[in-house]
Chains A and B, each alone.
Chain A
Amino acid sequence: MKFASQKVAYWFFASAMLLFVLQLVYGFIMGFAHVGLDVLHQWIPFNTARAVHTNLLVFWLLLGFMGAAYFIIPEEADQELWSPKLAYIQLIAFLAVGVTALAGYHFNVWEGRKFLEIPRPLDYLVVIDVLAFLLNIGMTMLKGKRHTTTSMVLYMGLLFAGLLYLPGMIYFDNQTMDSFYRWWVVHLWVEGVWELIMGGILCYLLIKLTGVDREVVEKWLYIIVGLTFLSGILGTGHHYYYIGAPRYWLIVGGIFSALEPLAFLGMAIYALAMAKKGGRKHPNKIALTWSLGCSIMACVGAGFLGIAHTIPQVNMYTHGTLVTAMHGHLAFWGAYAMIVLAIMAYAMPLLTGRKLWDSPVATWAFWTSNIGMSFMTGAFAVAGITQVNLERRMGFDFLAVQHEIEMHFIGLLLAASLFTIGILLFIWNFIRHGLPTDEALGADIESSPAEARS
């Protein structure tokens, strides 16, 4: 690492890992409930487990993004972080708000809108906290000696993620409009501005790990995020087919959302091409493995499994079934969980000065978690397709069908166990790195001539 203030990133990453484990625990609670083992129902009913599971996901990903920004921006701007103290305050406040919200879900306190369950007063605190974060990063960039495309794209992604949170806070007595603006947050995040964040981090990692010329990598970054917005903004229409919005959304949403996979395909091709092109042999191979894996799994989970149910005629039957859960898991994992794990795999040795990148634990973590998640996706897929056929196409009753597909949830639980082992290995490796230290400052552990150039 180059600047002492980059160390704050460590604490964001560590908190993220802690919350990730907790997310998995609540995933298991839901998985067991689906096979009829809902012994916790009285204390943690399904809707509590679900809100906690999905909110923890968003929460740890945001912590991961913030950590990534605190690590990347000082280096890109060639400037110490504006205020490390503000960063720590902002981290603690963010955790406090989050934990309060999660605790509230156990006492039936929430807003009851999927993914945006946080009660209104806490929403305002989240906004203030994110503003503090944006200020800190923004000031660092302003004072910086260097203004790179990578950092601009990353910053714009974070800024618009903050802004787009606001429409989700407007109240409508009309359920249709309520849902209409809920998607401004949910869809425009994951299929819009978060892709900028992902693109920015991926771009940074490729420059560092492959040694390909910055100008070339950043040109492609523009094209890819251009494709993202070109398709993703009007692609929001794929959530407006069947909620009471006008019919033209079937056409607009259908066409533009079908184009969305292009951005993910572009991202995968670009990452693989850069890795091939780059002559550089960076010693941290596992970070490159995570980066490339991320671009490929995002392309499968978001791109391929997204387009599989985005055509209105298909979505009519799959809308609101386990098919959506299948897509949701692999897309979030591939695009966002993996990019956060990738930047962590890259940053940890630099923060702590310990080169654990060759350790078999790191390699096992990658493969076990990815194979586990692929099987989970498969289990959701079989359950989802069976549900669509029996319930939506043949007209069997909901509960009767659920009992028919219980078996596939046993499969899900087995796959989830494999996945969890992978994640625990990753965290074990994370812990083995120890704490960040000033001794790692300026140490050239990357030892490669390309470093001097970038």
Chain B
Amino acid sequence: MLSKSQAKIFFLGGTGVFTAAFLALTFDTHRKVPAQTRQANITPAVDRGKHIWEDNNCMGCHTLFGEGAYYAPELTKAVERRGKPWLKMFLKDPEAMFPNDRKMVNYHFNDAQIEDVIAFLEWCGNVDLNGFPAKPPLAEKMKATSAAPVVTTKPVPAIFDMMACRGCHSLGGQGGMAGAALGAPPLDDVYKRKNKAELAAWISDPAKVKPDTKMPKIPLTPAQLEEIVTFLSSLGN
């Protein structure tokens, strides 16, 4: 059996060897990370965004690269998932976008700060994370078992992305990620459920029609509202 002094040598020797190995790998990591993370794309805006991220401890609710808290969504792929227009509108007033739901802090960011935060999240989204987050392996199987929804082939006007509708609703086979949880239906066949007047009333102020709704009131000019309503009701023709 080992004597005490042999045990001591095992401890000191092992620690020495593995510390050396760890330092060598750390050195190599320093060499490889700039390429893997596209470090060249860290613009001043990205750096400012990182400071906003840290100064407000966003990590105390969210995860980023899977690190942080488990109270709010993982944000590594937020830009890819929601799109920039949706994020802009969301960050202006988080609660308005998710009425009656779990709360984020409203930081009253100005437009420049919002640009910085989004730049930072976009840079994060482009880091090669060795495959994280994985595509949900069971999602495809589940889709195959549910009926295919109606999808329009008409070109969708830009206004639907600009005003973040497709952040919540799917339309033309795209979008809808943020709304699935809230029960936001696809808009391809909404003409079957609502006529022009009903659409206009709903979209201009959803809570007036249905007080406990989870659809936010989105600021639209009369012309924009007209364009949306016309397009949606034209899908039936």
Q: Which residues in A have some Cβ–Cβ distance to B below 8 Å?
A: 30, 33-34, 36, 38, 41, 45-48, 50-51, 105, 108, 110-114, 117, 149, 173-177, 179-180, 215, 218-220, 222-223, 225-226, 229-230, 233-234, 236-237, 240-250, 252, 316-317, 319-322, 324-325, 387, 391-400, 402-403
Contacts and interface: CB of A to CB of B under 8 A. Distances in A.
Contacts of B73: 398-399
Given A111-B54, A218-B4, A234-B21, 18 more contacts: A112-B53, A112-B56, A173-B46, A173-B47, A175-B64, A175-B127, A179-B67, A180-B26, A226-B15, A230-B15, A244-B36, A244-B128, A246-B36, A316-B131, A387-B70, A393-B137, A396-B180, A400-B181
B223 interface: no
27 contacts: A33-B71, A45-B61, A46-B71, A47-B59, A108-B57, A111-B57, A112-B54, A112-B56, A173-B42, A173-B46, A175-B50, A179-B67, A219-B2, A219-B7, A220-B7, A222-B7, A223-B11, A226-B11, A244-B36, A244-B127, A246-B28, A320-B67, A320-B68, A393-B136, A393-B138, A394-B138, A397-B177
Contacts of B37: 174-176, 244
Contacts of A403: 181
A176 B58 contact: no
Contacts of A240: 29
Contact of A47 (B11, B30, B61, B131): B61
Q: Is the interface of A mostly helix, strand, loop or mixed?
A: helix
A234 B138 contact: no
A42 to B, nearest CB: 9
With most chain B CB atoms within 10 A of its CB, the pick from A113, A175, A322 is: A175
A406 to B, nearest CB: 10
A398 B7 contact: no
Nearest to B17: A230
B54 A398 contact: no
B60 A48 contact: yes
B128 A230 contact: no
A97 to B, nearest CB: 19
Given A245-B33, A322-B70, A394-B139, A399 B181 contact: yes
A187 to B, nearest CB: 11
A50 B69 contact: yes
Interface stretch (B99-107, B108-116, B156-164, B201-209): B99-107
Contacts of B32: 245-246
A57 to B, nearest CB: 14
Contacts of A393: 136-138
A242 B138 contact: no
B132 A316 contact: yes
